[in-house]
Amino acid sequence: MALEDEQDIQRECEALSISYARAVDFRDYDEFVLLFAEDGVLDVGKPLEGRAAIKAAMGKRSDKLRSRHILSNIFTDVQDEQNARGISYLTLYRHIGEESLSGDAIDFSGPAAVGHYEDKFVLTDTGWCFASRKLHFAFRNEQQF
């Protein structure tokens, strides 16, 4: 594979991770589920298999939950023209409460968690998608969950 093709795949997979953070934080769940392959798996504690299961779970998120997913150290290892693996570090800020319903800033004491996502990417008919995304916590503030 040409270096330029590999770099294009890396950029597309990085953009997918960033789109994930934006979509979940701003409650764009219709967009969120399309980031996954039809049979994709999201595991943030309990594996959700397929777009329908992911969409149903996202629909249950409380409106009183405000989050910001900060991604860094995004790395993508291109396996071939249709598959890649990756990792991205996560610093998660979140608040659960009535204050989340307003647009005002909320006082907080620090991150709710720090960890990383372990990703498998696949090229589909509609472009690059998550084949799977699994969250691993390194640090977690139990009061935030």
Mean pLDDT over the full length of the chain: 95
Whichever domain contains 34, its CATH number is 3.10.450.50
- Find the mean pLDDT for residues 86-111: 89
Q: Look up the pTM and report it.
A: 0.93
Residue 61 CA to residue 2 CA, distance in Å, equals 42
Q: Which domain holds residue 132?
A: 3-144
Residue 94 CA to residue 140 CA, distance in Å, equals 12
SS3 103: coil
- How many domains does one find in the chain? 1
Residue 130 pLDDT: 98
